Amino acid sequence: MIKAVIFDMGGTLMRFVRPGSGSWREFETPGIRGMYRYLIEQGHPIASHEDDFVEAMFARLAEGWQQSTGGHISLRAVDWIAAGAADHALTLDEAALTAAARRYALPIRADLVAAEGAARTLAALRDAGYRIGLISNTIWPAEIHMEDLAEIGLLQYLEHLIFSGEIGIWKPSRQIFQHALDALDVAPDQAVFVGDSPHEDIVGAHAAGMRAIWIRSSEFPLGDVQPDASIATLPELLPILEHWRA
């Protein structure tokens, strides 16, 4: 019997409106430029031109993200910023690192919206007695995501939230899924994971012994990964769960 539903965040419960062609580079670059300008405004000497700073930070970000999802490191925005600052012989205290991370995140958060039917679906799940959790691969501080989820009206429905950068474990690691199962007090066969990334969400959930539902994504093709079900929008989740729950 299914007792809990655990969601991915970005691309599943919330959507980011991307500029231009929609590439991750176009999406991330304004934030890195904002961070560079913040450091200059605060009087930190950076010899590099802004464009060179962006290139170096983007390369560091891409490498760190790949290593994190591969289970080799746990990338956090503050550590990434600290390493970039160290390249320029700068040492930033915790407050400055947090402020720089917020400046970096600002343009990315600007056009954030809830996914179609997200609040309605979460409310229906809660009313039906399901326990509801979230697991997100992210480098940003948890407080930023909590603010965003509250702003778009979803935070109130989520019982337990896990952010990879905070606990040092990234999807598709089985451990991060088990952490959520333990927090919600359910066995793997009593839980379903919903996400848009075949590798991180579907493969990871299956490795933890959970069923997994893929929310269809043109960005992350399914390939040879086999979810237990697939949906286009979140409200389609409800009849599938009721069938499995019977």
Per-residue pLDDT, averaged over 150-160, amounts to: 98
| Residue 143 in this model has a pLDDT that exceeds 90 | yes
CB atoms within 10 A of CB 178: 16
Query: Where on the phi/psi map is residue 65: left (φ > 0), alpha (ψ -120 to 50), or beta?
Result: alpha
Domain 4-15+114-245 belongs to what topology?
A: Rossmann fold (3.40.50)
d(Cα 212, Cα 62) in Å, to the nearest integer?
27
83-105 per-position pLDDT tens digit: 888 888 888 999 999 999 999 99
Q: Where are the domains of the chain?
A: 4-15+114-245, 24-109
- Kindly report the pTM of this predicted structure: 0.92
| Mean pLDDT to the nearest integer, 29-49 | 89
Residue ranges of the alpha helices (H) in the chain?
24-41, 50-69, 77-86, 94-109, 118-127, 142-151, 164-167, 174-184, 204-207, 237-245
pLDDT (0 to 100) of residue 245: 76
* Cα distances (angstroms) measured from residue 57 to each of 94, 109, 166: 19, 19, 21
Which of the 8 DSSP states describes residue 226?
A: -
